[in-house]
Amino acid sequence: MALFSKKPPAEAPRRRQPTHGVDTRASETSLEERYAFKRNRTLTGSASSQVVSTNESNAQLKSPRVQAHELTKSRRHIGAILFLVLAIAAVLYGLIFQFTANVVVKAQSNVPATLDVSYAQAIQSYLSSQPTQRLRFMINTNQLNEYVQTKTPEVASVKVDGSAGFGKTQFIVTMREPIVGWSINGRQQYVDSSGTSFDRNYFVSPAVQVVDNSGVQVQAGQAIASNRFLGFVGRAVGLAKAGGYKATQVIIPAGTTRQVELRLDGLGYPIKLSIDRGVGEQIEDMARAIRWLGAHGTKPEYLDVRVSGEAFYR
């Protein structure tokens, strides 16, 4: 009878069911499908400007506010790079514009002749020896003048006159104007008011000429007068002109090369000077003696101011 039949055995709970023989580990394929969205693709942040999340600027979803901040930062970064590039380009252009590759030489307005290429070559030679001074703003004018004057003594000064085009610099050259001429062994030399001697003249030949009566025999390659002597003569003529006396002739007396006789316009007697005494002092003594002689109506054969503080006449 069913009443007395056995009840079917109850099914054991799942936790008590044997697990041997059953692989409870998920397969690799099922894991990939289960965590496909979460792994490496988790989206953080918010697209809303009203929601602020932690580390929002590094999130994948960025609000318009964060995007605007990033665009502003990018514009500033690009602007800084552009400004730096433009600044470097401007500096490079300035350096190239200041660079002297070619030299253009122009004479001062009072020089009636056209200058030759020797002056440009002298300046180029100086710049080659001083490459840093090819930049116009770094040129040492004093050194440039000293160098050019050793090559071309007739140059009084050289100054930079600015750009003459891309890579070119213009220089203004001032020439010495002679006040004394002297022929030495058939070679004409000149002396300016500063006492510098030179042999190339761009002006009218000076009216004052040196008459050499010394009788000194000059051998080949030997100069009849030193630069000191020529400088003394030039300064004497220049100082006399500054004092209102125009020199017409300079004579070297016979048997000596250490003194000269200076003849002045309108004065009937020579002035004896010595190169061993300061030329300025002798010209001052000369002027005082001439005024004294004129005041007393005396007309001597000569006036000698070679001794300091004394004036002799005959």
Instruction: Answer whether 231's CB lies under 8 Å from 191's CB.
Output: yes
What percent of the chain lies above the pLDDT cut of 90? 10
> Is the pLDDT higher at 14 or at 307?
307
| 112 alpha-carbon distance from chain centroid | 29
Give the tokens for residue 62: 């960025």
Write the pLDDT tens digit of every residue in 82-119: 999 998 888 888 778 888 888 999 888 777 667 888 99
- What is the per-residue pLDDT for 172? 92
- What does pLDDT average to over the chain? 78
One of 2.60.120, 3.40.50, 1.10.3470, 3.10.450 is the CATH number of 180-313, namely 3.40.50
**Domain 99-175's class?**
alpha beta
The domain limits of the chain are 62-97, 99-175, 180-313
Give the tokens for residue 313: 């006449």
| 54 alpha-carbon distance from chain centroid | 61
Given pLDDT bands bounded at 50, 70 and 90, which one contains residue 51?
Answer: low
Give the total residue count for the chain.
314
Instruction: Answer whether 158's CB lies under 8 Å from 118's CB.
Output: no
- What is the per-residue pLDDT for 148? 93
- What is the per-residue pLDDT for 220? 39
- What is the per-residue pLDDT for 56? 57
Residue 124 has pLDDT above 60, yes or no: yes
Amino acid 308 reads S
Residue of 201, 198, 194, 290 lying closest to 233 (CA atoms): 194
Which residues does residue 172 pair with via DSSP β-bridges, in sequence order? 106, 159
Listing DSSP states for 1-50 in one string gives --TTSPPPPPPPPGGGS--TT---SPPHHHHHHHSTTTTTT---B-S-TT
- What is the per-residue pLDDT for 1? 45
Instruction: Answer whether 246's CB lies under 8 Å from 237's CB.
Output: no
> Is the pLDDT higher at 237 or at 194?
237
- What average pLDDT does range 144-150 have in this prediction? 92
Residue 175 has pLDDT above 50, yes or no: yes
Contacts of 293 (CB under 8 A, 6+ apart): 299, 300, 303, 313
Give the chain's end-to-end CA distance (angstroms, integer): 188
Q: Using the 8-state DSSP alphabet, how is residue 248 labeled?
A: E
The answer for 186, left when phi > 0, alpha when psi is -120 to 50, beta otherwise, is: left
- What average pLDDT does range 187-214 have in this prediction? 81
Residue 219 has pLDDT above 70, yes or no: no
- What is the per-residue pLDDT for 15? 56
Residue 284 has pLDDT above 70, yes or no: yes
The 10 Å Cβ neighbour count of residue 314 is: 8
Given pLDDT bands bounded at 50, 70 and 90, which one contains residue 221?
Answer: very low
Q: Lowest-confidence range among 160-164, 177-181, 253-257?
A: 253-257
